[in-house]
């Protein structure tokens, strides 16, 4: 029976030729016996890992030269779908010739990339990306057995997206540095949530401790609270003039968010801070109107006065607001 008859041509189009070839003809499937390894003066490690999300499981064999910790041979047995077989085969091949410490650095992204026919086209559809996650987990298990430590000791950070190996700290930092506001932006910047999508929100193929929607919400809340605190501190101390430019912009944005922006949005407009310059007498804040506010007659009179008055009250009496 042709593969298109079994699953449909459109589905098979989402798999690389390497994947479909290795599904039926894996190069490293098999096992290594203790006697074989010992006859060559090497140590045998056998590690098992199962993925609860899909019922797949893999057994990894490492034959290691104890004099240099190098993996001289490796084989696998996979109990699961064709994608799991292909991923396990490539994972096994990537291990051969590396030391145990080097092998632990192999990620599922490395496995998926090695399965591609060309660098720009994913090897498997997004919903199958989780099959290659087993590769990283079983490698950690094997390394832990060899070194006599817990497998989790190789994981230094909390991993939110297993598919792209993106950590919690990385996500928080990227959101902050780039002022991200949507899940789509997070995926564009980090690849998190771009594969099996289970880390985006509850309801995916497996339950997660951390979800992108919650991380984005909580990080944005922290950022907003920091802005408000900066504005409050500036108003209380009257020290707006001595702030750095970045601190001043954050303080102005916080006041605008709290007291001004909602009214502009109600009228179909908005504004953004372009620059802040300190002169001998005034601190000039340059703004640009957006949407309906751009070109509105009141934007250069009543609206401008209200914005300036609010910033003077909250931050510094020396502020002057100039539209550009």
Per-residue pLDDT reduced to its tens digit, 97-126: 999 999 998 877 788 889 999 887 888 876
Size of the chain, expressed as the number of residues it contains: 324
Let me know: does 68 contact 47? Beta carbons within 8 Å.
Answer: no
Query: 257 pLDDT exceeds 70?
Result: yes
Q: Tell me, what DSSP letter sits at residue 315?
A: T
293 labeled part of a ligand binding site: no
pLDDT at 8: 46
Tell me the CB-side half-sphere exposure of residue 157, using CA atoms within 13 A: 12
Rounded to the nearest integer, the mean pLDDT of the chain is 85
Tell me 154's DSSP state. Answer: G
Average pLDDT over residues 63-70: 97
Whether residue 137 has pLDDT greater than 90: no
How far is residue 209 CA from its own chain's centroid? 15
Per-residue pLDDT at 202 = 92
The sign of the CA dihedral 203, 209, 214, 216 is: negative
Checking if the pLDDT of 206 tops 80, the result is no
Catalytic annotation present for 131: yes
- Residues 8-63: pLDDT tens digits? 445 567 889 999 999 989 999 999 999 999 999 999 999 998 765 556 789 999 99
- The reply to whether 199 sits in an annotated binding site is yes
Question: Is there a catalytic annotation at residue 95?
Answer: no
Give whole-number Cα distances, 93 to 78, 106, 109, 227, in Å. Answer: 14, 11, 15, 50
pTM greater than 0.95 (yes/no)? no
Which one of 54, 95, 293, 296 is the catalytic residue?
Answer: 54
Predicted confidence (pLDDT) at residue 238 exceeds the cutoff of 80: no
pLDDT band for position 204 (cuts 50, 70, 90): confident
- Give the span between the Cα atoms of 36 and 72, in whole angstroms: 12
- Across 160-169, 257-266, 281-290, least confident range: 160-169
> 163 a known binding residue?
yes
Question: Using an 8 Å Cβ cutoff, are 11 and 19 in contact?
Answer: no
Please determine, for residue 179, whether its predicted confidence score (pLDDT) is greater than 70: yes
Domains and CATH numbers, the chain: 11-155 (3.90.1010.10), 166-227 (no CATH), 240-323 (3.30.300.130)
| Per-residue pLDDT at 129 | 67
Active-site hit among 95, 131, 293, 296: 131
**Distance between CA atoms of residues 34 and 38, nearest Å:** 6
């Amino acid at each position: 029976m042709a593969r298109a008859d079994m699953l449909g041509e459109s589905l098979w189009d989402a798999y690389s030729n390497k994947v479909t070839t290795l599904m039926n003809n894996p190069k490293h499937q098999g096992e290594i016996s203790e006697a074989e390894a010992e006859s060559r003066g090497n140590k045998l490690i056998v590690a098992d890992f199962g993925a609860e999300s899909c019922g797949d499981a893999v057994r990894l064999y490492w034959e290691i030269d104890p004099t240099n910790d190098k993996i001289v041979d490796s084989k696998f047995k996979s109990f699961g779908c064709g994608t799991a077989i292909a991923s396990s085969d490539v994972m096994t091949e990537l291990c051969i010739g590396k030391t145990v410490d080097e092998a632990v650095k192999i990620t599922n992204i490395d496995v998926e990339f090695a399965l591609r026919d060309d660098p720009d086209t994913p090897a498997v559809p997004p919903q199958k990306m989780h099959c290659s996650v087993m590769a990283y987990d079983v490698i950690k298990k094997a390394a832990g057995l060899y070194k006599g430590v817990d497998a989790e000791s190789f994981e230094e950070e909390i991993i939110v997206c297993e598919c792209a190996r993106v950590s919690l700290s990385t996500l928080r930092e990227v959101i902050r540095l780039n002022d991200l506001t949507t899940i789509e932006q997070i995926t564009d910047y980090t690849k998190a949530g771009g594969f099996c999508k289970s880390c985006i929100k509850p309801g995916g193929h497996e339950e997660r401790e951390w979800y992108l929607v919650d991380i984005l919400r909580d990080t944005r809340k922290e950022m907003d609270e920091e802005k408000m605190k900066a504005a409050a501190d500036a108003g209380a101390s009257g020290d707006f003039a001595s702030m750095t430019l970045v601190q001043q912009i954050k303080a102005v944005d916080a006041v605008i968010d709290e007291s001004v922006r909602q009214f502009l949005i109600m009228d179909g407009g908005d504004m953004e801070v372009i620059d802040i310059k300190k002169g001998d007498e005034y601190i000039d804040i340059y703004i640009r109107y957006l949407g309906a506010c751009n070109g509105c007659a009141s934007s250069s009179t009543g609206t401008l006065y209200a914005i300036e008055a609010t910033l003077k009250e909250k931050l510094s009496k020396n502020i002057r607001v100039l539209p550009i």
